[in-house]
Amino acid sequence: MNRSLSLKRLKESQDKIWDIAVIGGGASGFGVALDALSRGLSVVLLDKSDFAKGTSSRSTKLLHGGVRYLAQGDVGLVLEALKERGRLLANAPHLTYNQPFIIPIYTWFDKLQYSVGLKIYDWMAGKWRLGKSKFINKKETINRLPQIKQSGLKGGVVYHDGQFDDARMIIAIAQTCDELGGCVLNYAKVSELTKDENGKVNGLMFVDQIGDNHIKIKAKMVVNATGVFADKILQMDQPGVRKSIQPSQGIHLVFDQSFLGGNDALMIPKTSDGRVLFAVPWHGKLVVGTTDTLVDKAKLEPEALEKEINFVLETAQAYLTKKPLRSDVLSVFAGLRPLAAPKEKGAKTKEISRSHKVIVSDSKLVTITGGKWTTFRKMGEDTVDYFSEVTGESMKASKSANQKLHGYTKNPEEGHMSVYGSDASQIKSMIKDHPKWAEKLHSNHPFTVAELIWMLRNEMAVKLEDIMSRRFRIMLLDAKAAKEMGPKAAKIMAEEMGQDDAWIADELEEFEKTVNKYIITQ
């Protein structure tokens, strides 16, 4: 997967009519691209920033049916998500895990409620079940969650869900799309939709954010998969159209894993504001979240609010004996949910179902909104199903449900190299050929020069932040360490990319502005 090659391909084929042009390189857009390619359609996918820069790299990292949605009676959504959870675990074993969760039980009513609820959850998963849920006594709960609050504890209910690396999953899907013949390009901002004489959308214009090229794409169907930015594209289609998205922010705090201990995840089904709170082990750290705060504007780099930080800290402190403090936060990151804006002023967004929706405008622009990471593939399939209606052409049945993703292996490496799947052996041979590339980028973290060069050559990383945030994930795991790695990494990037000292200075300035937002000041 190479950016220069994708760009060259698009520059040289401005007369080609693609079957589908997808705007947005998050989970929704890549779900569409993957499904369309599995049916033999030609696909181009563009993102204005790096792939997964938006919400898709800022999730809780769960592949789940959603115990919460079950409690709300949204059986259809849970069934669909459980099936998709199973499929993704089967298609990308190098990026997914079967993660046991424990709900601590403090009242006998809760024991009954969660034991029965999770049995139903198990039963609904059918052949995709990841493990049987069960009640464990107080002693075992403390053994498995060493830092859990013990006063009043009666035991715990264990259940299983999936866990994954969201941004690295996007990279693997992008590579799969590239291998299936799709053309994927990051840093390509769609600036305009084009229409034919009948007012039907027949393509788009985009601006290459790195080289400032303006390029035209012709397509039979254009899909708007821009998450919280969907209204901007809808405005290009129909200026003045009613706002359809209400962004809702969710934040996560990252701590050392020792604040929970063990290998299990903690699930608090009802916090003081009625939400679910997770504390999940991830790449050796503990990710704790999340919140649900309505915000006015869709931003690519949303920032956690003080009240959100305090809420997550206080809730974690209420359930843990080793109480995490502000100074223990290794990183804070925020993401935006694209909730449907209520039609009437003052109506609540929480009441609106979180299932996805495909909308076809009068000019045949197809928009996919809502949904969740876990169901990205099904969201893609449901969107591509509109291809015949929009174009009048027939197409083959979808095969994406069984599409193995790039790097697929049942035996990934141990440790941090596991995310590369079958690519890990190639990174190791790079080190064999260039022993100097075994050098680590930070003394406290295992990441090597070889991996950085691999990301530039094969994973379409362009900027320092692409490397730190969405490839190594260190910006979300330990933001201070990411900042410390910056100068060395930028120098290696410049050598590999043929850039000069001015580029290094600019890149570092831009990166530091962003990484500082992930570091909590005292």
Q: Work out which of 38, 55, 141, 246 binds ligand FAD, going by CB under 6 A.
A: 55
For residue 28, state whether it binds ligand FAD (rule: CB under 6 A): yes
Pick the stretch among 97-105, 150-158, 303-311, 370-378 that binds ligand FAD (CB under 6 A): 370-378
Segment lying near ligand FAD (by CB under 6 A), choices 105-113, 123-131, 212-220, 368-376: 368-376
Q: Which of 46, 103, 177, 477 binds ligand FAD (CB under 6 A)?
A: 46
Q: Which is nearer to ligand FAD, 266 or 336 (CB)?
A: 336
Instruction: Enumerate the β-bridge partners of residue 255.
Output: 286
Piece in contact with ligand FAD (CB under 6 A), picked from 40-48, 107-115, 430-438, 481-489: 40-48
Q: Which of 119, 139, 112, 104 is nearest to 269 (CA)?
A: 104
Q: Is the dihedral of CA 56, 60, 66, 69 positive or negative?
A: negative
Name residues contacting ligand FAD, limited to 224-243 (CB under 6 A): 225-229
Instruction: Give the bridge partners for 159, in sequence order.
Output: 101
Between 14 and 429, CB nearer to ligand FAD: 14
3-state secondary structure of 220: strand
Strands (E), 241-365: 245-256, 265-268, 277-282, 285-289, 293-294, 331-340, 357-360
Task: Specify whether the CB–CB gap between 355 and 191 falls below 8 A.
Answer: no
Q: Does 48 bind ligand FAD (CB under 6 A)?
A: yes
Alpha helix positions (H), 95-134: 108-125
80 CB-near residues (< 8 Å, 6+ apart): 355, 375, 378
Which of these segments, 48-56, 126-134, 473-481, 508-516, binds ligand FAD (CB under 6 A)? 48-56
Q: Is 54 in the site for ligand FAD (CB under 6 A)?
A: yes
- CA atoms of 115 and 402, how far apart (whole Å): 33
By CB under 6 A, is residue 514 in contact with ligand FAD?
no
Instruction: Count CB neighbours of 279 within 10 A.
Output: 29
Does position 47 interact with ligand FAD (CB under 6 A)? The reply is: yes
Would you give the distance in Å from CA 78 to the centre of its chain?
A: 19
- Which range of residues in 7-15, 86-94, 221-229, 513-521 is near ligand FAD by CB under 6 A? 221-229
Binding positions for ligand FAD, 295-354, rule CB under 6 A: 300, 335-337
Q: What is the nearest approach in angstroms of ligand FAD to the Cβ of residue 444?
A: 27
Nearer to ligand FAD, 169 or 504 (CB): 169
- Using the minimum distance from each CB to ligand FAD, give the nearer residue, 23 or 449: 23
- Residue 232, both tokens: 């901007």
Binding residue count for ligand FAD, defined by CB under 6 A? 38
